[in-house]
Structure 1
Amino acid sequence: METGTGLVRALIAAVEHKCDLINMSYGEPTLLPDYGRFIDLSNEVVDKHRIIFISSAGNNGPALNTVGAPGGTSTSIIGVGAYVSPAMAAGAHCVVQPPAKGMEYTWSSRGPTADGDLGVSISAPGGAVAPVPTWTLQSRMLMNGTSMSSPSACGGVALLVSGMKAEGIPLSPYSVRKAIENTAASISNAPEEKLTTGNGLLQVDRAFEYAQQAKKLPLVSYRISINQVGKSVPKLRGIYLRGGNACCQTSEWTVQLDPKFHEGASNLEQLVPFEECLQLHSTDTSVVQIPEYILVTNNGRSFNIVVNPANISSGLHYFEVYGIDYKAPWRGPIFRVPITVIKPIALLGEPPLLSISNLRFQSGHIERRFINVPFGASWAEVTMRTSAFDTPRRFFLDTVQICPLKRPVKWEAVVTFSSPSSKNFSFPVEGGLTLELSIAQFWSSGIASHEPTCVDFEIVLHGISIDQKVSTLDGESPLLIVARSLLASEKLVPVGTLNKIRIPYRPVECNLSSLPTDRDKLPSGKQIIALTLTYKFKLEDNAEIKPHVPLLNNRIYDNKFESQFYRISDSNKRIYSSGDVYPSYVRLSKGEYTLQLYIRHENVQFLEKLKELVLFIERKLDKKDFVPLMFYSQPDGPIVGSGTFKSTVLVPGEPEAFYVGPPSSEKLPKNAPPGAVLVGSITYGTVSTFNKKDEQNHRAPVSYSISYTILPSKVSSIECAVSLLSTFVVMMILVLVLDHQFRITIRVHSPDPDTFCTAYICALDFVSYMLRYILFHAVVHSLFGLRCNQYKLLQVDDKEKGVLVGTKSIPEQLDEEVRDTKIKFLSSVKQLTEEDKSAWSELVVSLKSEYPKYTPLLSKILQCVLQKGTDGDKISHEKEVIAAADEVVGSIDKEELAKYLSLNSDPEDEEAQKFKKKIEETRDQLADALYQKCLALAEIESLKSDESIEVSAKDIFEENYKELIKWVDVKSAKYGTSTVLREKRCGRPGTALKILNDLIQNESEPKKKLYDLKIQLIEEMGWNHVSTYEKQWMQVRFPPCLPPF
């Protein structure tokens, strides 16, 4: 789809190339009409640079309020709907019997916008047999949509612009728009059809004649802003009354007319002399009352409108207030104020029900019903029955509700009836808002049949009102839920599941950079700045994840930041996923990943505020890891395990309360860090019109979000001891300070401190002593009393290994901590210069002498040797690896190790399990040393010629490999490379390649050395074509760098 970066660069290119017109066939739903960064830049392109901007209205019809941004919601952009003519139906769509007259496509979006604007400006042919890229293996194909009507209109306007240039007529987006809107051919006589077709079908010839006649008129456009008298609400572009009390009482509105001239217009020649006397008209004076005349100058003018919809019938009504130039009526409407009134019907009964019988449908016919959804309703159930038709019928079902500062709440379904039958649907609704229900027979469905479709329709409203629509489980406390049924009796059956985990991340790196001036410098001269945020995350298992930035996601046109883009890569710089405003799930293997988020804006201060932007990684849990929620009728239910709440029947007006229990720790997903949030949903009701065998459709279609924050893990005894020790130190300091201050105060203010205060000072000393005594013993008790079992260590004697001889003393524990710290520090020393290497070598010699034959130390030295690199002489480096590995092997008593590994330990004995873990660590250190020695020996063989390799060296590899077999599975992912090298040395490249392929398949993250070895084996076997293929894929698996944004 489109990206903010691409859209802004396209506007820059259009200005740089001095284009006359722009066509854009993209569009999305929006929270706010005529708002956002791209809209601001588009206004500048039209108003300042005089470029005509045409865009598609959208393909989300047939319901109202479905026009998309930017084409259907922006003041400066001409939105185009999709029209199908009889000739198009016959020639392009090849229908059996074309319709008698043209119509709007069923799926073409309709107005108005949320702020009352018309939405659709004009209509144009929305289908064609158009050229397509050759990779489709065809030259042309049938395509339709407003993505076709927009370029069709743009082509027609291009003819108009060409003619105006040829005759020297001043060119302006304002004059061109006025010409095409005032000369468009009306498609339907019904006033409300303007919300569908706009001002009509584009007529280029009439528009050109209009432009010729109006060439001496001022290039001006009237911008309209409306607000209701007595209310301080955001300015509107039309009057839109959608249900509620507004449709039943008179209201007064103030309309502000502001003439808009292009930037650079002369004050003396254009602005000062501008004056127009306009005669105001209303399409229905019984509903909309207006003044008769208004005189407008360049400073603008306001007037009031009175709307009285009390006596109109229920349904959709559209009115207009427009101004006509008193001196030149031929100009048509100079401005228009759209007025849309939707008067819903109220449903009666328990539950509320609307039944419609004998609706007659022909091709393209649309029936709309507007329903006042009562408070307490949360879902609707619909039954649709058809009869009396011959050929199959295709219907579009749409429902729309308008919520403040939200995208329209829309439900849609496309259903085909092959024969007379009935179908059931259910969908969520919002109580207190007007619901539009649109039923449309597709424009080409049943077009050859003369029998209308007879439809019976029934809609029933249901609802369970919940006091917490967004629920959060706090810690280990259950959550109280109060449910009510306000409409009718409903069955309450709560079912909840936590099926996703969301982990927050802060950026580990942020970078602000000025972008190149060739593509990212605005026409105003302002430079676009980019903010790149880098996040790191790790997956312990294969998972399906989605990045989520709540502040920015799901908004592209109605966003003040012009671009947001992310990409996920691994340590090899291979990109696995990328996305923008609509993040999508991607399946990733176990491993570490980097996510980069790219945000653009010209204002660096705005970007500075996003440097610590929180990113959420949302991961889908496997079905076996879903966390089911339990419900209880008492607060102690989760603890005692009784009082489970299953279901009940809600009686109108009587609330029912129950508890949602927190998930038990055993059911939480593994590898879920503290602070992560488990996310899921709860449904409370059931659908009455369902098939009992279909359990999934048994649940009500409305669900409520619930989350649970994973608690911190149990605090260890060491952490408790440290906390108590800190408290002890603070309290000791406080006691000493108070003691000292009391002594000074008494000695200064007492007349005879030596005699009068002796008893007091003794008492104070006693209290101070007792407090110190109590605090000290509390800490000691915590450290060595309650949790002393955790400080028991196994001391292995040379003669009797594995015998528990008792706990180690504090000095011994201190010595071990110092030793482990030294070993840990060894790996942090950077060996960048010769001095660093010399210092590191001296440190190694010192530690070896201090802790001789200590296997963890020697294993750490081996790891450091592997990490420090070759410095050119690879053979010397590999020999150093062999020497370090030999020291590790020599420090371990392999016979004793084998004895302990052959014994089974008691799983309930904590000390035995600790000793077993220690033995397994020693085994792993031995196996790793043998494995690294195998790799080093094989590398030396590959670096030397066959003649220079001594027979003894080859025997050493074989002996080392046989020793490795004794301790581990040499075909596992960790040690399998040694088996591949052995099979290669033995002249069995095919076997080696098979084992290597298994290793690559099992690796969570691709390793370049494995693929290099694979290519080497393939080349040795003479498979040159396979080698070429693998080398090409190496550019994908291991790119040299990340691509630019």
Structure 2
Amino acid sequence: MIKKNCAIITKMHVEVPVDTDFPVGGLLPKKETGASAFLSKYPTYDGRDIVIAILDSGIDPGVPGLQKTSTGKVKVIERFDCSGCGDVNTSTVVKPEDGYITGLTGRRMKIPNDWKNPNGTYRIGVKNAFDLYPDRLKDRIKAEYKKKQWDEGHRKTVSDLNRKLAKFESQQQNNNNPNENEKFEKEDLEAKLDVLNNLDKKNCDSGPVYDCILFHDGEKWLCCVNTSDDNDLSQCPLLGEYSITHEYLPLTKQDSLNFSINVHEKGDVLELVGVCSSHGTHVASIAAAYFPDSPEQNGLAPGAQVISLTIGDGRLGSMETGTALIRAMIKIIELKQKMNIHVINMSYGEHAHWVDTGRIGDLVNEIVNKYGVIWVSSAGNSGPALGTISTPSDINDEPIISVGAYVSPEMMVAEYAMRQKLPGAPYTWSSRGPTLDGGVGVHLCAPGGAITSVPNFTLRYSQLMNGTSMAAPNCAGAIGILLSGLIQQGLPYSPYLVRKALENTASFIDGIEIPAQGAGLMQVEKAFDFLVSYHDIQERDVRFQLQCGSCNSKGIYLRTKTNTSKHTFKVSVDPHFLNEDEVLPETKINFNMKLVLTCSSSFVEFPKHLDLSNFTRMFAVNIDTSSLEEGLYCNFINAYDVNCIAKGPVFKIPITVIQPREITEPKFTVKYNSVPFKSNTIKRHYYVVPNMATWAVLKLTSNEDSGRFVIHTIQSLPRQHCKALETNKTIAVTSKTDSYISFQVKGDSVLELVIAKYWANIGEAALDYSISFYGVKPNQPSINMHAAVGIHAIEVQTLQGEEISPSITLKNSVQILKPLEGKIAPLRARDVIPPNRQIYELVLVYNFSITKACEVSPNLALLSDMLYESEYESQLWLLFDCNKQLLGCGDAYPSKYTVKLEKGEYVIRLQVRHDRKDYLEKINEAPLLLQQKLANAISMDVYLSYSQALVGGKKAGVTHNSNPYTVVPLYIAPLPSDKFPLKSNNTAHYLTGYITYAKDESGKKVDTYPIKYFLTDNSSPKKTASNGNSSGDKTKADEYNEAVRDLQTSWIAKLDKETAEKLYEDLTKTYPNHLPIHSSYLQLIDPLDKRILPNINKKPNTSLEDLNKVVSTCEKVIENVNEESILAYMATKTDLRSDAAKFKVQMEQQKNVYLECLARKGIALCRIHLLSENADAQLQDIGNVWKSLLKFIDPSDAKVLTSHVLYFAIWHSFVKQQYGRYLKYILKLQEDKPTEDIERRVIEVCQELKWKHLVNYLERMLPSKYPNAYRPF
């Protein structure tokens, strides 16, 4: 407590005493767990000699409290980004030329003279800063860049142009017949404004891209990141490898993002290590921060050192990945060879569908059970319902200490600025046990909030964060000081003994359920006494693996509705030694314990004694629920050592029984009146949901003032995580209006309803509430309908005669992508599990195109929604455009990641990893689902009869049958082709959406069912009907000659120039008026795929002879085309002649060839003009060509611009120096197929126009938009 002299403030003649004592002890709580008292008693047991590995979002080593330990050692001793987000490919080796090197961005950089580089070579790479930036920092930098570098210049430029345009229009207001130049001048000004406004709307800063230079000075690797604006490397500090030098620096002064480096693969990979969020730094500060001048701000173990292992991937918004988790564990095993890592803290986790298998869990078990590292993890923030524990806290064998979050009265006033103190208790949202398979879920609880250091990039000294993420490091830090004391006393320990000490000495909180607190609130001093007293017990290094029932669960868990009240569970207890492969045989032989079993619940029958040696013992446990009322029953069968009862249970068999109630009330409505609620009061109800029920409605009313309540409902479904059928909402309940919450339910399954007054909501309230069940149940929970099958029939039944009003909405199309290639290769040294388990990668490549802009979400369905439980180690996809620009990425959870795409060609590269190559071979042809959001939702028609569906008659409206359980048939008609035209939409194989059956809005909102509508083949059969191209009266000889002519014509553009010109000459003699011959020849001398854009800095690199040849050839074609006849045909609305189809083909062909030749001629004339010394040369001819084109197309209409005409429009505007028009046309070309060359032409013109803000923006974007290689995984 900070104490200062009290002061008296006089205000409005009233003296108010001010208490200047601030409860600093509640900012980072240590008193509640006895940690403060322990350190007062043992000041040197402060974590010194202890190393804590933090698996999180990365630790900023530059923040207050994380520079040094209490003994002066470096606090953060290792930093690794295990996700791959910070990787830079530095396999490119260069040597300086004249003291300069050119980076992969194209920037030329001078090597400082004071750099020591014995071999003279440098490795270069490139990194986008936004790869390293957390989302919050990215948003700040974007906003600052836009404000400082864009907005001011943009506003000034637009204002100047508006004034020019207004002045021009004022001068022309009496001119009713402006000349061509005046029209062009106005069009150019308007085009400039359009270009600027469009670019302002599309402004999407992709961040600065920096060159990375890596070299070896003979002793260590050194790195320089070129962040200077003028490419002066002497302004950019050198950084050595963090493991050797412990050096770190802010990337730039503006971002304040501290980073360090590591080097892998002999220099081929540079790893830049930052942080992907504030989370990890806050966690590390709780565990081990040290403030020499403010000890009240210290973490739990100020003397401990920490290792930062980043498992959150910045590309995924700090989501952990399998790759990062496995690499982190590999790094722990490697580091164990040179230092002792004592504790792991992992305040991360997801919800798994099952917990008995999974690649990641296997390695977690190995870390704890083989290498002896104590692993602490957050239980999760998904409460207050039961069974909401996150993974890895619930993985098989329970090697991890799972920690729930507790809030103390001191924390309430110090951290949360509450008006009054309330009794300490677990937070409302802290996840509750048991695990899916009956494990305890929460082993103990610890303070779950703190105000402490956060990374410098936040520009904050400290910040309040709460969650089980904060409780876990509080526990991990406490374990650190316990181990520090044991090590200084020379006493042995094991992960199993430490967990047992914490559980057996925790302070159980009266009135709080076991699933919320486990053994209770951690007590440090008592745990230390336990560890000292029992450090040499025979079971110190033994874990007891429990398996219950036919599923080998971690505990006994009865939740489902059953037809019997008597249940028998087979229980096995199997002792396993720490690193048992290295345990001496005599140790295993001599192990024997005489155990007495106890349990205080009368409904549990069990044996009273058990003799346990080094082999599996099995026995039966009977559960009789016949006498139990509705509610939750939690207890343990405790096994005590008969030789030492005082040390507490040797192991515990958790028992959780949920006794639901059957709904017998009228209209399936259960009511509760005047139920009292205090802060953090939790009421649980369990119901067997009626068979036909599909949704329920909860109605709440407060009898007094409003209160803040958490409503949580869960139904546990087999092999699915807790969120599969869940509702979790925080609402205000008042006395003025009723509050309603509707949610989906599944019949014949147990529903848990939790109503909790939020922990921080002061005051008392009495609630009236009721729950009502309703149902419109289909016989098909999901519908797969194929367009070719026709009408799809379904049946529905109601619970109590509810009104039926079916509605189908399709929101997405799905394209099935097959891999273009799949390659399996061994990964490098970072991905070898010691001693030599090689991990392989499978990289699948998928190509696709988008014809209409949309949002897409890739989904490798085979492995989706699985991380910890997956048999495969990891999956990660990266989506690139045709220029290798990374547009988005995602992992195992496809619903989290969408990417907005414009029309274009795209590539998805997907990586899956495993240490068994044969497993990867099984999926090397796995298809990828590309979900594409529809611009407008599509509805499908539903009918009450097959006949009406067949003819598209009367649709199903509102159907009501007062007799429940009556079967109502419904019929879904196929989707009309005009609702989803295949040719005008992105490629799709099926459509997805949902169907609702209830008329009631509360049911329609939540009671939805998935539907997939499979489309027919996209390809259309070739029509056999005549199209007007019949051969007529031609002889076979005529047809043969024409075929030979057409074949020779097609080869003109493919042959070498000399041969092609001879062939062209021969063909024109025989067929002087056959236009395709000239078109093919033009493609030879002026190829479209090598189209050259005008360059403001240099003249065209083409001979006048070739350009004149293009002009003369085009004129030959133009002379043979009757322009008037084409225009007359285009003006014809209906052609009634008998050969209209044939004539249409001929006229379209003539028009296309004519426009192509006009455009080619115009471009050639423009290039001749630029080569000519006469400034006015060819301008008249160029203008005439432009006028001829205007007869056919409107160049302002982007839809009708062909590539030929668009290129000519670019050249035409360029030679007339109308750069607004030029930009408008060239940006249209850029939209169709973006290239770096086009982008540089745009930059050149913007420089000419002195649009500095736009030049800076486009140059900043260049390296990101046009990288030289795909981003590595």
The secondary structure found in structure 1 opposite 2:679 is: coil
Alpha carbons of structure 1 residues 316 and 427: separation in structure 2 relative to 1, 3 Å? same
**Structure 1: how far apart are the matches of 2:363 and 2:564?**
37
**Structure 2: how far apart are the matches of 1:711 and 1:817?**
36
Deviation at 1:983, TM superposition (A): 3.6
**Structure 2: how far apart are the matches of 1:495 and 1:909?**
49
- 2:595 is matched with 278
The secondary structure found in structure 2 opposite 1:153 is: helix
Residues 384, 712 of structure 2: 8 Å contact kept: yes
Q: Deviations over 1:430-473 (max 9, x none)?
A: 1111000000000010x2x3xx2111111111112211222232
1:462 aligns to 2:774 (yes or no): yes
The secondary structure found in structure 1 opposite 2:743 is: strand
1:548 aligns to 2:778 (yes or no): no
1:335 aligns to 2:647 (yes or no): no
**Structure 2: how far apart are the matches of 1:298 and 1:533?**
48
Deviation at 1:1040, TM superposition (A): 2.1
Q: 1:855 aligns with which of 1075, 1098, 1117?
A: 1075
User: Which stretch of the first structure deviates more once superposed, 1014-1023 or 665-674?
Assistant: 665-674
The secondary structure found in structure 1 opposite 2:480 is: helix
Deviation at 1:589, TM superposition (A): 0.8
- 1:398 is matched with 712
**Structure 2: how far apart are the matches of 1:334 and 1:885?**
96
Residues 577, 583 of structure 2: 8 Å contact kept: no
What one-letter code is carried by the residue in structure 2 that aligns with 1:226?
Answer: Q
The secondary structure found in structure 2 opposite 1:395 is: strand
Q: Which aligned pairs between 1:201-240 and structure 2 lie closer than 5 A? A: 201-218=521-538, 219-228=540-549, 233-240=550-557
Q: Which aligned pairs between 1:225-624 and structure 2 lie closer than 5 A? A: 225-228=546-549, 233-245=550-562, 248-284=565-601, 286-349=602-665, 351-389=667-705, 392-408=706-722, 409-417=725-733, 419-445=735-761, 447=762, 449=763, 452-485=764-797, 487-517=799-829, 519-583=830-894, 584-623=897-936
Q: Which aligned pairs between 1:637-676 and structure 2 lie closer than 5 A? A: 637-650=948-961, 651-671=963-983, 672=985, 676=989
**Structure 2: how far apart are the matches of 1:588 and 1:921?**
34
**Structure 2: how far apart are the matches of 1:535 and 1:559?**
23
1:16 aligns to 2:321 (yes or no): no
Alpha carbons of structure 1 residues 114 and 812: separation in structure 2 relative to 1, 3 Å? farther
1:706 aligns to 2:1011 (yes or no): yes
Residues 996, 1014 of structure 1: 8 Å contact kept: no
Residues 1111, 1164 of structure 2: 8 Å contact kept: no
Q: 1:629 aligns with which of 921, 925, 940?
A: 940
- 1:789 is matched with 1026
What one-letter code is carried by the residue in structure 1 that aligns with 2:999?
Answer: T
Deviation at 1:137, TM superposition (A): 2.6
Q: Deviations over 1:747-792 (max 9, x none)?
A: xxxxxxxxxxxxxxxxxxxxxxxxxxxxxxxxxxxxxxxx5533x3
Aligned residues: 930
Gaps of 5+ in 2: 1-318, 1093-1097
TM-score (ref. length: structure 2): 0.69
- 1:999 is matched with 1228
User: Which stretch of the first structure deviates more once superposed, 1027-1036 or 43-52?
Assistant: 1027-1036
- 1:800 is matched with none
Q: Which aligned pairs between 1:810-829 and structure 2 lie closer than 5 A? A: none
**Structure 2: how far apart are the matches of 1:910 and 1:180?**
96
**Structure 1: how far apart are the matches of 2:900 and 2:321?**
23
Residues 254, 304 of structure 1: 8 Å contact kept: yes
What one-letter code is carried by the residue in structure 2 that aligns with 1:684?
Answer: Y
Residues 239, 339 of structure 1: 8 Å contact kept: yes
Deviation at 1:905, TM superposition (A): 4.2
The secondary structure found in structure 1 opposite 2:742 is: strand
Alpha carbons of structure 1 residues 412 and 147: separation in structure 2 relative to 1, 3 Å? same
1:81 aligns to 2:404 (yes or no): yes
What one-letter code is carried by the residue in structure 2 that aligns with 1:5?
Answer: T
Deviation at 1:670, TM superposition (A): 3.9
Alpha carbons of structure 1 residues 958 and 103: separation in structure 2 relative to 1, 3 Å? same
Residues 570, 618 of structure 2: 8 Å contact kept: no
1:890 aligns to 2:1110 (yes or no): no
Q: Deviations over 1:965-1024 (max 9, x none)?
A: 4443344554445444434433444x3465358637x82553333321221112224455
Q: 1:103 aligns with which of 414, 425, 428?
A: 425
Deviation at 1:118, TM superposition (A): 0.7
1:138 aligns to 2:460 (yes or no): yes
Q: 2:383 aligns with which of 61, 76, 94?
A: 61
Residues 499, 627 of structure 1: 8 Å contact kept: yes
Residues 465, 486 of structure 1: 8 Å contact kept: yes
Q: Which aligned pairs between 1:866-945 and structure 2 lie closer than 5 A? A: 866=1087, 875-876=1101-1102, 880=1106, 883=1109, 886-888=1112-1114, 890-893=1116-1119, 896-903=1122-1129, 904-906=1132-1134, 912=1140, 915-935=1143-1163, 938=1166
User: Which stretch of the first structure deviates more once superposed, 895-904 or 273-282?
Assistant: 895-904
Deviation at 1:200, TM superposition (A): 1.4
Residues 700, 733 of structure 2: 8 Å contact kept: no
**Structure 2: how far apart are the matches of 1:242 and 1:398?**
17
Q: Deviations over 1:43-102 (max 9, x none)?
A: 111122222111111111010011111124451121111100111111111111111x31
What one-letter code is carried by the residue in structure 2 that aligns with 1:637?
Answer: Q
**Structure 1: how far apart are the matches of 2:788 and 2:348?**
48
Deviation at 1:158, TM superposition (A): 1.4
**Structure 1: how far apart are the matches of 2:1165 and 2:529?**
89
The secondary structure found in structure 2 opposite 1:443 is: coil
What one-letter code is carried by the residue in structure 1 that aligns with 2:925?
Answer: E
Residues 58, 81 of structure 1: 8 Å contact kept: yes
- 1:199 is matched with 519
Q: Which aligned pairs between 1:22-37 and structure 2 lie closer than 5 A? A: 22-37=344-359
Deviation at 1:921, TM superposition (A): 4.2
Deviation at 1:136, TM superposition (A): 2.3
Deviation at 1:879, TM superposition (A): 6.3
Alpha carbons of structure 1 residues 808 and 324: separation in structure 2 relative to 1, 3 Å? farther
- 2:170 is matched with none
**Structure 2: how far apart are the matches of 1:823 and 1:263?**
80
What one-letter code is carried by the residue in structure 1 that aligns with 2:1117?
Answer: S
Alpha carbons of structure 1 residues 637 and 855: separation in structure 2 relative to 1, 3 Å? farther
Deviation at 1:512, TM superposition (A): 1.8
Residues 370, 578 of structure 2: 8 Å contact kept: no
**Structure 1: how far apart are the matches of 2:1070 and 2:403?**
83
Alpha carbons of structure 1 residues 929 and 210: separation in structure 2 relative to 1, 3 Å? farther
Residues 278, 324 of structure 1: 8 Å contact kept: yes
Alpha carbons of structure 1 residues 171 and 844: separation in structure 2 relative to 1, 3 Å? farther
Q: Deviations over 1:729-764 (max 9, x none)?
A: xxxxxxxxxxxxxxxxxxxxxxxxxxxxxxxxxxxx
The secondary structure found in structure 2 opposite 1:611 is: coil
Alpha carbons of structure 1 residues 330 and 847: separation in structure 2 relative to 1, 3 Å? farther
- 1:740 is matched with none
**Structure 2: how far apart are the matches of 1:885 and 1:507?**
46
Alignment identity in percent? 30
TM-score (ref. length: structure 1): 0.83
Alpha carbons of structure 1 residues 68 and 985: separation in structure 2 relative to 1, 3 Å? same
1:5 aligns to 2:323 (yes or no): yes
Deviation at 1:171, TM superposition (A): 3.7
Deviation at 1:267, TM superposition (A): 3.1
The secondary structure found in structure 2 opposite 1:1035 is: helix
Residues 543, 620 of structure 1: 8 Å contact kept: yes
The secondary structure found in structure 2 opposite 1:622 is: strand
**Structure 2: how far apart are the matches of 1:227 and 1:909?**
87
User: Which stretch of the first structure deviates more once superposed, 334-343 or 878-887?
Assistant: 878-887
**Structure 1: how far apart are the matches of 2:588 and 2:1070?**
92
Residues 634, 659 of structure 1: 8 Å contact kept: yes
Q: Which aligned pairs between 1:723-742 and structure 2 lie closer than 5 A? A: none
Residues 399, 412 of structure 1: 8 Å contact kept: yes
**Structure 1: how far apart are the matches of 2:368 and 2:953?**
69
Gaps of 5+ in 1: 691-696, 719-786, 796-805
- Considering only aligned residues, what root-mean-square deviation do their CA atoms show, in Å? 3.1
